[in-house]
């Protein structure tokens, strides 16, 4: 049976690429889509930046037909700004709008945005309702279990968000206080999914790094799909690997060095094309270690690549890596 967000069919057990700041841009999303991601999200976008027409924010509204279905994710602390931002996002014509109630970083959460709103559940519900009422697009939410160990109200919160009209909910199995430390707790995600009052899709997120992880949470908690974040960085193949394993019970062959180099080159090409040479090269630096994780004696090449500002030189180094390893 296919899972739907509103009227949008996203597959029987969809794999979602998590929205990640400075990672989930169009060049990276293109690779993940090519390798099996069912649903994509933009990087999270500041509502204040959107309503002020800030270039950094409006650039993140760029979406392409090959990415569909895709959601634009917004964050903010002011209800009216979030409502107006949703209207702006609607003009970019995504399949849905996603609200970020999960970002744990201080500069976001301490202002009451992202996971910061978990300290004020009534405001969270009110903000969600205003956004749902402001757009004709389906609205979804990504959040965490709670602010800290003593405020894991996610089962009740999920009901209340559903009651004001969201069409799907993604839950990261940590509190804000945990940040990304410790293990994700999937038991409460399962409690939300198995709550008889819930009828919208529930997606789980947190510590999904292997195909075995996916099989375990799928069978144990009955979730509708999984959202994959950090495990996809430098490893866009993870989506097809999961799909192959779920279908056949066998592992898909891991990418060889040539595959990794080709993906990295394509990522770099698209990054330069979308952001320009200077920014495109600079923002790729965080990705090289991930593409070539586990390769012995890669450090010298990594230093050469990240210190080079010459496109031709970087591609030359990548070709050397393909031949040497």
Counting as low any pLDDT under 70, the low residues of the chain are none
pLDDT tens, position by position, 139-190? 999 999 999 999 999 999 999 999 999 999 999 999 999 999 989 999 999 9
Q: Specify the pLDDT at position 1.
A: 81
pLDDT tens, position by position, 97-106? 999 999 999 9
Q: Kind of pairing, strands 4-5 and 15-17? A: unpaired
Other CB atoms within 10 A of residue 274 CB? 16
Give the residue numbers annotated as catalytic, written as ranges.
103
| Angle (nearest 5°) at CA 43 between 276 and 182 | 125
Q: Kind of pairing, strands 4-5 and 8-9? A: antiparallel
CATH number of 4-248: 3.20.20.70
Domain ranges of the chain: 4-248, 257-324
Distance separating alpha carbons of residues 154 and 159, to the nearest angstrom: 9
Q: Specify the pLDDT at position 294.
A: 87
Closest CA to 287 of 213, 236, 211, 227: 236
CATH class of 257-324: mainly alpha
pLDDT tens, position by position, 182-221? 899 999 999 999 999 999 999 999 999 999 999 999 999 9
Distance separating alpha carbons of residues 305 and 204, to the nearest angstrom: 36
Q: Specify the pLDDT at position 298.
A: 87
The pTM of the full predicted model, rounded to 2 decimals, is 0.95
Q: Specify the pLDDT at position 325.
A: 85
H or E segment and range at residue 98: strand 96-101
């Amino acid at each position: 049976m296919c899972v739907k967000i509103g009227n949008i069919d996203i597959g029987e057990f969809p794999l979602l690429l998590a929205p990640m700041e400075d990672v989930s841009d169009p060049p990276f999303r293109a690779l993940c889509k090519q390798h099996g991601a069912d649903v994509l999200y933009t990087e999270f976008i500041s509502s204040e930046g959107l309503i002020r027409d800030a270039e950094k924010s409006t650039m993140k509204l760029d979406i392409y037909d090959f990415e569909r279905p895709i959601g634009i994710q917004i964050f903010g602390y002011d209800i009216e700004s979030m409502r107006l931002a949703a209207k702006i996002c609607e003009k970019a014509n995504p399949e849905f709008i996603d609200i970020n109630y999960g970002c744990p970083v201080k500069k976001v959460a301490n202002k009451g945005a992202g996971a910061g709103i978990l300290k004020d559940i009534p405001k969270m519900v009110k903000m969600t309702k205003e956004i749902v009422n402001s757009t004709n697009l389906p609205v979804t939410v990504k959040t965490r279990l709670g602010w800290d160990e003593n405020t894991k109200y996610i089962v009740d919160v999920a009901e209340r968000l559903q009651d004001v009209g969201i069409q799907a909910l993604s839950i990261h199995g940590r509190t804000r206080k945990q940040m990304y430390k410790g293990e994700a707790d999937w038991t409460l995600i399962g409690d939300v999914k198995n709550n008889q009052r819930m009828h919208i899709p529930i997606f789980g997120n947190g510590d999904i790094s292997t195909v075995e992880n996916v099989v375990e949470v799928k069978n144990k908690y009955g979730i509708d799909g999984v959202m994959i974040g950090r495990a996809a960085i430098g490893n866009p193949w993870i989506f097809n690997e999961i799909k192959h394993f779920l279908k056949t019970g066998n592992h898909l062959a891991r990418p060889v060095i040539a595959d990794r180099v080709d993906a990295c080159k394509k990522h770099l090409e698209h990054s330069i094309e979308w952001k320009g040479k200077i920014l495109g090269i600079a923002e790729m630096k965080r990705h090289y270690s991930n593409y070539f994780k586990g390769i012995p004696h890669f450090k010298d090449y990594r230093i050469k690549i990240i210190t080079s500002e010459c496109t031709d030189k970087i591609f030359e180094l990548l070709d050397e890596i393909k031949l040497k390893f």
